[in-house]
Chains A and B, each alone.
Chain A
Amino acid sequence: MGGEPQRNKLFHAIVGLGLAAAGCGGKDQAPIADAGPHDANADASMPPDASTESEPQPDAATSIDATAAADVAVDVAEEIWHPIVIQ
């Protein structure tokens, strides 16, 4: 098992199937039920039929103040409870 195919497999299982579930490309990819790289136990909670057209979330802001956004990002980055590592 080489590194490259395995990396592609994780990318596909995470990003490829995620975007497909959101209806954003990747529709030619494997059904979501065939997801995880070692997923004998994984369920098919995000179904193939979820590959429908994407639509924006409601009440979308038309613009976000860049300074305010940077301030929120720094605060999120400094939150001591997050992120959490499982190693």
Chain B
Amino acid sequence: MTSPHTSPSSLIRRRRRVVELPESDPVIDAMPPALRQDVAKTWERRAHEELKVAAAFSVLTRELLETRGDPMVLAGISRGVNDEVRHAEVCRSLAGKYRGAEVPWPAEVVIEPSTRADDRRLRTAFHVVSMCCVNEAIASSYLDASLAGAQSPSARIAVGELLADEVEHARLGWIFLARLPSPYRAAIESNLLTLVRPVWQCWWDATHVTLRDGAPEHGLPSVATTRSCAIAALRDIVAPGFAELGFDVGPLLEWIRRATADHAVAPSSLLTEPSRLENAST
């Protein structure tokens, strides 16, 4: 008998291959050389970031294994490790298109998971919330805006590939939450802001961003758009999602409201209207 948690088709993935970028790209060909190199550098850095996410998902995979996590979620998160490695190759390949030369595989990624002996199931739940429910939702919003602005056929293919997977990774968080026993849900509810704020802060921090105005036609939104995406994802996806499951999201909504006011974030309607994006790119 098949358990709802182990539906066989939920445990498999159709054969995937690394998406191929077009041989020629007139949008890239028409770029100023200096911008072309800057965009190449950004996509090269993005390849390394994707490997960091792969490492993070590998930690989460181990935690789900150690805590007898939901099989459907375990299957999805473990596939996520491979997804993120594939994303690194997509970004590396795209960087090469802009560079006009082969770009090396990213540098090593070293992470140090906590060795604290606490409630492992609770730690796992907190990781799922922040990695999937929050971070991947913001990533989806960011990539959606990236795709809306992208004109380069190569960038559109690459961003579309990443977006499809990130939506799936975000969805895993809500599957996990929906099946989580109530004591764990209560612990998440009590610590929701603690978990959300650092994720938001990472998206807000532009320390490593070299193209602050972005290159929207090449799938790279500006810092301002990125920050708007972070706020919009929290307000329109994350908070309503928790509310749907019966969580008290009052404090989260109040924090979002204050963060939006404090940082004068543009309405999220600016993110997805092509005309606005076109204006932003000029």
Which residues from chain B contact A63 at a C-beta distance below 8 Å? 183
Chain A: interface size category = 35 or more
Q: Decide yes or no: A72 and B267 within 8 Å by CB, A14-B140, A54-B178, A64-B187 being known contacts.
A: no
Alpha-carbon distance between A10 and B168 when the two chains are bound, in angstroms: 11
B53 contacts chain A at the CB level, 8 A cutoff:
yes
Q: Is the CB of A81 within 8 A of B9?
A: no
Is B68 at the interface (CB under 8 A from chain A)? Answer: yes
Whether B28 is near chain A, meaning CB under 8 Å from some CB there, is no
Residues of A within 8 A of B168 (CB): 35-36, 42, 45-46
Q: Is the interface of A mostly helix, strand, loop or mixed?
A: loop
- Is the CB of B19 closer than 8 A to any CB of chain A? yes
User: Of B50, B167, B236, which contacts A7 at CB under 8 A?
Assistant: B236
A76 at the interface (CB under 8 A from B): yes
B148 CB within 8 Å of chain A: yes
Q: CA of A55 to CA of B173 in the docked complex: distance in angstroms?
A: 16
Evaluate contact between B7 and A42: CB separation under 8 angstroms: no
| Count of residues in B whose CB is under 8 Å from the partner chain | 100
Give me the interface of B with A, judged by CB distance under 8 Å.
4-5, 7, 9-10, 12-14, 16, 19, 46, 49-50, 52-53, 55-56, 59, 68-70, 72, 75-76, 79, 111-114, 116, 118-119, 121-123, 126-127, 130-131, 134-135, 137, 139-142, 144, 147-148, 160-165, 167-168, 170-175, 178-181, 183-184, 186-187, 190-191, 194-195, 197-199, 202-203, 205, 209, 221, 226, 232-233, 236-237, 240-241, 244-245, 267-274
Given A22-B175, A39-B167, A55-B179, 18 more pairs with CB closer than 8 A: A6-B144, A10-B233, A14-B237, A15-B237, A19-B178, A21-B171, A22-B179, A24-B178, A46-B171, A56-B179, A57-B179, A60-B184, A69-B191, A76-B130, A82-B111, A85-B49, A86-B46, A86-B53
Q: What are 25 pairs between A and B in contact, CB < 8 Å?
A: A3-B267, A10-B167, A10-B233, A18-B172, A19-B175, A19-B245, A22-B179, A24-B178, A36-B164, A39-B164, A41-B160, A45-B13, A45-B79, A46-B168, A53-B4, A57-B70, A60-B181, A64-B184, A66-B187, A70-B190, A71-B118, A81-B55, A82-B59, A84-B202, A86-B142
